[in-house]
Amino acid sequence: MEQDRCVGNQNIHSTLNLDQDKNNLVKFLDRFKYGGLVCLAFELLDINLYDFMKQRHFMPLHLCQIRIITQQMHVALNALKSISLVHADIKPDNIMFINHQSQPFKLKLIDFGLAAPVSALCPGTEMQALGYRAPEVILGLPLNEAVDMWALGCVLAFVYLGQHLYPTECEYEVIKAIVTTEIDDTRAFLSLLKQMLHVDPDRRITPSEALEHRFIKMTHLTSKDNPSPNSTPACSKMQEESTTGVKNYKTSSKAVNWNLVSITTQNSMINHGSIDL
């Protein structure tokens, strides 16, 4: 435990080589011992992003506000990357307002207790809060700075949706949610949905056209950009299951609620023309 604290302290000290204000990182002030414990002193900040969302009853932020958060946190990640340091615990709780009254949406990244040099990462390393854990961490794959980008993406989704993007209870549910929200499949579905909901009846997709759509045919999963030898048999199996195994398919109420939220959000995006299909 003491060794872990020492490593954590070293990683915090490594950020001193950066301009902490310019790079939106919490400012380290001092360290001292008290009662046999090593204490670290940081600048006084305001509320964290999670508590801020909680105060607003998790009402989603506007895109103009999310853009400000996105820019500042990418500056922070770029700075950490320049010194080959991975934060490893990015979540709303670890992003704090400096002073939301006088400097609205001026933020800093805090808590480097789990930070580690990229060279020290190895498959199987435990890191990140579950709902913000990158798939390569869960699956025991090689790790690098990209785990922080995944976590930040989940944070931005959280403030956009007003709820966690992925489940926060077990790794299996996280991986299941990641797989079922695979971007190409989602885009294909939204493309079909947009054509089905066209306001001009003459331009609305017909049943025969819909049956040839890439979402039904799964051609987007077997294109030249996806050369995996497993993709074609996998798609065939999925098509078979979709036509013959529907009666055996069971979905938990939680999964249903999850999908309804996703569809509602994406439908709103379609109606406002914010998705490039």
Residues tagged active-site: 89
- Give the HSE-up count for residue 51: Cα atoms under 13 Å, Cβ half-sphere: 9
Distance CA 221, CA 218 (A): 6
Q: Other CB atoms closer than 10 Å to residue 219's CB: what's the count?
A: 14
Give the CA dihedral 194, 196, 197, 201, nearest 10 degrees.
Answer: 130
**Contact between residue 275 and residue 269 where contact means Cβ atoms under 8 Å apart:** yes
Specify whether the CB–CB gap between 108 and 26 falls below 8 A.
yes
Q: Give the phi and the psi of residue 126 in degrees, each rounded to 5.
A: -85, 125
